[in-house]
Amino acid sequence: IHDALENLPHLQTLIIPDPYGGDNIPNGSSSTTFSWILPLRPPFQLREAKILLPYDAHTAAFLASQPTLRAIHITEAVPSLTLDDMFPTDTDAQGEGDKDAPPLPELVLFDGPMGVAARLLDSPLVRLQVFQHHENDLRVFIPRLARVRTLRAFSMHFVSEQRVVEVVRLIAKYCPQIRHIGVLSLPSISVCCTSRSSFVTRKILKYTWCDQRSGLHAHLLSFTALSSLEVDLTRWLPQPSAPLQRVVATELRMYCPTLQVFIVWYGSHRFVWQLKDDGGEGDWKLRMESAGDGVGWEVA
């Protein structure tokens, strides 16, 4: 594969899988990677790269050799990355950037580990999806997005119920121009009403949930361009019916009038609601019940 790549001068899209998925490597250790197959002086200039190998220094050097990249997908985590590695200097926090970051002046889409994304914030990113983060790291990462003036869609693989209000507050403060946010785990209504809970427990849960919902409403008012919201309702029991999903979408739009698309995840099932303009307030229509093209962070 390495030799073949060195003889493909017109290559524009590259998808490289990990042959062992990072596991069960014959006669090798768990730290063995195959990133060496990526040439450091390739004859091509890529537009899109999907690297399924564990990200390491060799992978970073390869990407740095591709200034024409517009889209990067990295599916493997960075096992040894710490928060200090992600944000190494105070200078970076002031918006002057990481001097060691890969020079990717055309990069508009990144999907991968937060630690790698943190080193690409000087690129003109429009769509960003991150994973492999501790929830506390979002407090540090989101303020850094303030310098990415081009950012329009920001997706996180999971934001728990307890962090939703804080995360939305930070995004509203530092990325007011955002048009898509996901994936937020909304607090379940049913958690407040379980018959087995004591009266006191139910009251505490009820006020906690109401405080979270009120906080979310307050911060949604800060957005002027947010048109797409993606949420996870997997913890809701029973599964929220289509009418209940429509009610939630309608409620959120009361505080975010620009909302046009509402995407609901329940386990592996995906429900996409789109607002149809009827000349009045509009009506939410369920467009599909599975993953599809035309919506979400990659197209917002």
**Average pLDDT taken over every residue of the chain:** 81
pTM: 0.82
pLDDT number for residue 115: 86
pLDDT digits (tens, 9 = 90+) for 70-83: 999 998 766 655 44
DSSP 8-state secondary structure symbol assigned to residue 221? T
C-beta atoms surrounding 265 within 10 Å: 17
pLDDT digits (tens, 9 = 90+) for 5-41: 999 999 999 999 877 655 545 554 445 678 899 999 9
pLDDT digits (tens, 9 = 90+) for 126-161: 999 998 667 788 899 999 999 999 999 999 987 888
pLDDT digits (tens, 9 = 90+) for 229-288: 999 999 888 889 999 999 999 999 999 999 999 999 998 889 999 998 755 567 899 976
Cis peptide before 272 (omega within 30 of 0): no
The two beta strands, 269-276 and 283-288, are antiparallel
Contacts of 53-62 with C-beta under 8 Å, sequence gap 24+, read: 53/16, 53/17, 53/18, 54/18, 54/22, 54/78, 54/79, 55/112, 55/113, 55/116, 58/33, 59/35, 60/102, 60/116, 62/35, 62/38
Query: Listing from the earlier edge strand, what are the strands of the sheet with 269-276?
Result: 13-16, 48-51, 71-74, 109-113, 127-131, 153-159, 180-185, 228-232, 261-266, 269-276, 283-288
Q: CB under 8 Å to 196, separation ≥6 — which residues?
A: none
Compute the distance between CA of residue 216 and CA of residue 213 in angstroms, rounded to an integer: 5
The two beta strands, 127-131 and 153-159, are parallel
